[in-house]
Structure 1
Amino acid sequence: MLETKMSNNSLYDIDIEKVVLASYIAEPSLFISSKLEAKAFFFVFHKELYQALVSLYDKDLPFETALIKKELGNKFNDKFFNDVTQHNTTINIDKYENILIEFNEKRLINAKFEELALKLRGLSIPEIKALLLQEAQNMFNVSDYDLFEMEPISEIQGEKTEYICEDWLPVPKKTVSMIVANGGVGKSWIIIQLALRHLIKNPNEKVFAWLSEDPKGLSKFRANLICNDILDDDINKFSNFMVTGSEWETFHIIEENGSLNSKLELMKAKLKDYSVILLDPLIGFYGGNENSNSQARKFMQQFTRWAARENKTILFIHHADKLGKGSRGASAIVDAVRLVYEIDIIENDNEQRKFKIGKDNYGVSDLLGTKEFERIVFPSSKNQKKKRSSKGRGRR
């Protein structure tokens, strides 16, 4: 008789289950984007521990031992729990989650084989073929483990696109956008002002900017001038605007060989409390082939997924191509973002810049009533003490 049952070592891996659970407990921010359900774990205590973490997360409680023990009640086991918490952890959690998902699917298929073995007894060859064909169709049509969630459109809660800096330089929330310009146009000045304007209206939020081409002292100098001359505000109010400069070397999310750098998970954990993330320039974080659409798509997917899952507004600064008529590199970069601003200088104007909407999936041009407009970017060169209009002039 043919052996239909898979070997046990191909159906689960207790050590991988421990790695995942230990990582969740050590760094709860990894749990936020977990793709797993309790049934992904084979060991019963691991199922129950995962469910306890879900319950604590839903109650907005920390993953502390005392609370986990209370949540598990008489299901708590000191030895099993210590085996988990003393195990190695990882920041590359996606890899291990995918392994557990695959193990779970194999267990489901194995269970189906065992069920079929009982049904096949006493059947004729035509009946066996018919049964196998029907079961195969059922397995492909109805997955026991969802690859994605589906919801009736009638039951989905409708929502309009929301923006930060809606009345100055609108950027859609929960997605990735991009500013494209040549060097010397003032891209860093623009995103510093964007951050300050957002925090004036949303003082309880946090903004992070990695301005990797400038020392942080220069960014502070620029922010101070913007506050004094353009916004008429006090720079000391913006303690929730965090900046990293050229003192820290950026790391590549995608390496030259196309592999994914696990440091992204550390970055996401460090920025879990920040709603707006500004990264300058994009190429500082991308080490892959600049003209490879497959690598660029993989790079951008990390950020679009992060923005959607964790409610982040992410804005990249990117260099224009050699002709200054669009972003340089693979087209997949622009394909992945929802909004692109292209910026250019205005002849004989040292304070304003011309903005053009190059890509607009979320209706920013309708919001502004134009696809081209001007904004004050630099402090007044004539009189820095003179306060300037906050909005600049729109132009159709």
Structure 2
Amino acid sequence: MSKNALVSFQGNKNINTEIQLTGSKSECNRALIISALSKKLVQVENLSNAADTVTLNGILNKLGVESNEQGGASKPQTNNSELVDVGPAGTAMRFLSAYLSAKNGNFLLTGTERMKQRPIGILAEALKTLGADISYAENEGFPPLNIVGPLNQKTEKVKIKGDVSSQYISALLMIAPVLPQGLTLEIEGELTSKPYVDMTLDMLSAVGIEHQWQGNSISIKPQTFKAGTLVVEPDWSAASYWYSIAALADEATISLPALKEKSLQGDSQIQRIMEIFGIQTSKTETGISIQSNEKATDAPEILDLKTCPDLAQTIVVIAAALGKNMAFTGLETLKIKETDRIAALQNELAKIGVTLTETNLVYTLNCDKLHFPDKITIATYEDHRMAMAFAPLALLVKEVEIEEMQVVEKSYPYFWDDLKKAGFEVTTLQHSVIQ
């Protein structure tokens, strides 16, 4: 049976602490795929202990790299598929769809029931255009996927929508160097989460893979990886929850070692965004420090989060808790994440009297009826970011019960322990009554 966390904060809400964050899940997962494609010429340091990264690393180690061949090699003479189960790891599902298409073998790529509801068709069809042997084992456009590799490349050019998931684009770019003809990727429409594509290209560049990006077209020729090491930075997505705590505390000074002001991670934009809530970021000898004693800047009429959608839940909850009737855009991809994050936010914000409504892709908070009951119980919908976005409300609500507390293992396994370091009380509850 799942366990719940009862979170509270007693006494002086002046928080002064140092938190060592786990490695970036986004960087780790890219680094692991790049390392496998390079046949271990590229090593990875500061690997994250997030469940998604542990899952992907375990799968790649099990598959091995010795048979990882150039596309177009002879296909295996067996009808027995090797089961590759990513569980709830969405990034792994997308990256492995491309990786396994370039690898010699016969695979059934699957995941949890929720994973089977998350679309993969855009990526699968792009891979099929390149020459991949992919079929849908159950429902058209969704996992599980039957993949027989390596692909027999038919063309080096493929088109893909840019406004659905940047992970589709990154998955294709990472296999491009090992394709016989390379890859020219034409991005159709607006590119969502561009920083994540930049991250992928920067990491490839760090190990010798060159690219050209002109207009909406990215080209990577067949190339050999250069031996080297990719050192993973701590996770800026995880840092966002500490910005939330700083914003909701009376005062706060929180040190986050090894984080870089200038980062490959798009979520490092939290530094600029949180100035709206009076949180200042400063560089230190060991990393960064965030303080809550600075004057807030004016919020934009509409805050665009399309380049950092993983910050959306955190920022929306902060704004709601502080009673700010803000408007947001760039949240379209939230509906196909671990859960429908828009619906989840609407359901849980209602528990403190706040509404989140959508009009023509603009999402508006109304905090006119904001109130803080003595206790609220937050459903997580199997989504790690719901748990961590709402837990800091314990600074304003006497007791916050977070259902299925183990969901944080997906990206930040030590989240509850780190809350305790900062003065929060976290009690594990079993057989709790769902309100």
Higher Rg: 1
Higher helix share: 1
| Band of TM-score, shorter chain | under 0.3
- Give TM-score scaled by structure 1 length: 0.25
| Bigger relative contact order (CA 8 A; separation at least 6) | 2
Higher strand share: 2
